[in-house]
Structure 1
Amino acid sequence: MSLRSDLAWQRFFAACSFLFVASTFVGLELFWPQPPSFDLTADQTAGYYVAHQTGFLVGVVFCSVGMAFLLAWTVQFGVMLRRLDAGSRVVSTVTVVSLAASPVLLSFDLAIFGVAAFRPDTTSPEITRALSDVAWLSSQHIWPMLAAAMALSGLLIVKTQGRPDSLPRWLGYFGLVCAVAEFGQLPIFFVKSGPFAGDGAGAWYLATFTWGPWILGTGWAMVRVLARQSAALDATAAAAAPAEVDAPAEVDA
């Protein structure tokens, strides 16, 4: 594969951040019902899934597609961080592994959501509520790895300013802020209502609406860095072109 073709693929994978956010936003905000109260009885929870069955199932499909884009973007982010990370590159490795866990684990959670919404009218309400609790709470319990990845990448970005392929300083600080916001999900197993319950503003909404902008901002910065690399490659090729044209032709003996 040529360097130009490789850069084109890298730009696409960086842009997968936009595709992930778009697909997930459609699934979560346009179709998917927001988290039900964890204070609901089993019958009320089952009724919630019956009433919103189609929304759950359509949302699962859109979000599952989004996980493929998220994984592709994560690998590309890891490649670009490794270029910045000197020495053993352990920081970039831990960062990308922590990030890659999210789409893998969330894919299993989405499957559980799909099972809960598959036939809630004929499944025992207790089973439906149990599946719902597992899916909602485990989907949020990726926060320690996500916070670690945001913080580590943020520190690495701030530390490597001034390099030709460095990501912007503001992105590093933004990652640190988003990492702190992830701690809002810490109490989800201890409370069933309030701002830090699984459906609360301090847990579900704070984390969701910081994670998405962080991925969008990071993807945008990645695309810009790769665009500069592509422009530099084109400039190098253009500068070499006259030399090739002016080179003397070989003369047959």
Structure 2
Amino acid sequence: MNRTAQLLIAWCGPAMVILFVIGSVWLARYFPPAIHPSDSAEQVARYYQDHSTAIRWGLVFSTVAYALMGVWGVCVAVQTRRKEGVFPVLTYVQLTCMAAGTAQIVVNCGLWATAAFRAGEVSPEITQAFNDAAYIILLGTWPPFTIWAIAVGLNVLLDKSGHPVFPRWTGYFSIWAGVGFIPGGTVWFFKSGPFGWTGVVCLWVPFVVFGAWVLYFSYLAMRNVRSGFVHEQQLAAGS
């Protein structure tokens, strides 16, 4: 039962990516953004008014995707927990930051949905403000995600048993992934160029790095579980 449950939550990583593509890329067109930070309030309001139904359906898929992100985080934490000892501090850090990050981007979807809810009925500046707030939360509040990835990396690198849960180099990969989320913070300061929410630095670097991080650690967790590495005793027996 434990093995099956761990495989199911590991698959939540790829499922999250698929639902995100359906919701945010295909339907709502938030990635890449159809709305630019330099667009006028009237342009933003018109986009929401013209695409209100597609945006709201897209946000349904996106919200489910982000909820699965929280579930997926558990599969990595469960794997690293096997080797951390009696007081799994870094595992707790992972779970806390995963929960905080999930909560903030679900709120981000709620702000986009609010912008679409009365588009054309309220002042364009109100719609623009909700849209701005959503992008600022999505990209600008990177610390929980960065700390989460660094905690995963430290879990791997601080394991001196000779049989780390994941390959040792993935510890460095996870830490650098956390660093790769930081450029999203430039969304607070720029309305155009590579540092705005449509830019390479602000948008594409964090999202591509995050996607690669999720998919690769999903693969590693599945490989461990299929090999029977479900709890510490099994890992020790198979070493």
TM-score in terms of structure 2 length? 0.88
Q: Distance in 2 between matches of 1:150 and 1:89?
A: 16
CA distance in 2, matches of 1:169, 1:22: 28
Is 1:165–1:225's contact at 8 Å kept on the other side of the alignment? no
Q: Is the 8 A contact 1:171 1:217 kept in 2?
A: no
Distance 1:132 1:221, change over 3 A: same
Instruction: Tell me the equivalent position of 2:56.
Output: 57
Query: How many Å apart are 1:110 and its aligned residue?
Result: 0.8
Go from structure 1 to structure 2 and tell me whether the alpha carbon gap of 1:150 and 1:112 turns closer, same or farther (over 3 Å shift): same
Counterpart for residue 18 of structure 1 = 14
- What is the CA distance between 1:143 and its match in structure 2? 0.9
**In the alignment, residue 193 of structure 2 is paired with which amino acid?**
G
**1:135 alignment partner in structure 2:** 134
Partner of 1:159: 158
Instruction: Work out the CA distance in 1 between the residues paired with 2:127 and 2:224.
Output: 47
The reply to whether residue 147 of structure 1 matches residue 143 of structure 2 is no
Deviation at 1:130? Answer: 0.7
**2: CA distance, partners of 1:186 / 1:80:** 30
In structure 2, do the counterparts of structure 1 residues 58 and 218 end up closer, same or farther at CA, with 3 Å as the change threshold?
A: same
> Match of 1:57, SS?
helix
C-alpha distance in structure 2 between counterparts of 1:136 and 1:191, whole Å? 12
* Structural mapping, 1:164-179, within 5 Å: 166-179=165-178
Q: What code does the residue aligned with 2:25 have?
A: E
Q: Hey, what's the Cα distance between the residues in 1 that align with 2:189 and 2:141?
A: 16
Alpha-carbon contact 2:140-2:186 (below 8 Å) kept? no
Spell out, residue by residue over 1:133-184, the C-alpha distance to the aligned partner (whole angstroms, 9 max, x if none): 1111111133111011111211221332655561122322221221121121
> What residue in structure 1 maps to residue 106 of structure 2?
107
CA contact under 8 A between 1:161 and 1:168: conserved in structure 2? no
2: distance between equivalents of 1:151 and 1:56?
33
Secondary structure of 2:194's match?
Answer: coil
- Deviation of 1:53 (Å): 2.3
Cα distance in 1 between the residues matched to 2:156 and 2:208: 22
Q: How do residues 195-214 of structure 1 correspond to structure 2 at under 5 angstroms? A: 195-214=194-213
Residue 192 of structure 2 aligns to a residue whose secondary structure is coil
Which of 21, 24, 28 lines up with 1:28 in the alignment? 24
Amino acid across the alignment from 1:27: G
Give the greater-gyration-radius structure (CA).
1
**Amino acid of the structure 2 residue aligned with 1:44:** Q
CA distance in 1, matches of 2:80, 2:96: 12
Query: How many residues of Structure 1 are paired with residues of Structure 2 in the alignment?
Result: 229
Cα-Cα RMSD: 2.1
| 8 Å CA contact retained: 1:77, 1:96 | no
Aligned to 1:78: 77
CA distance in structure 2 between the partners assigned to 1:170 and 1:27 by the alignment: 33
Which whole-Å deviations, capped at 9, do the CAs of 1:26-45 have from their partners, x for residues lacking one?
21222222332211221111
Aligned equivalents of 1:143, 1:230: Cα separation in 2:
32
Q: What secondary structure is seen at the aligned counterpart in 2 of 1:229?
A: coil
The alignment-based identity, stated in percent, is: 27
Query: Structure 2: how far apart are the matches of 1:202 and 1:52?
Result: 27
Letter paired with 2:141 = I
Worse overlay, 7-16 or 82-91: 82-91
Q: What one-letter code is carried by the residue in structure 1 that aligns with 2:97?
A: S
Gaps of 5+ in 1: 236-253
Q: Which runs of 4+ in 1 moved over 6 A?
A: none
TM-score, structure 1 as length reference: 0.83
The answer on whether the counterparts of 2:224 and 2:230 sit within 8 Å (CA) in structure 1 is no
- Conserved? CA contact 2:55–2:116, under 8 Å: yes
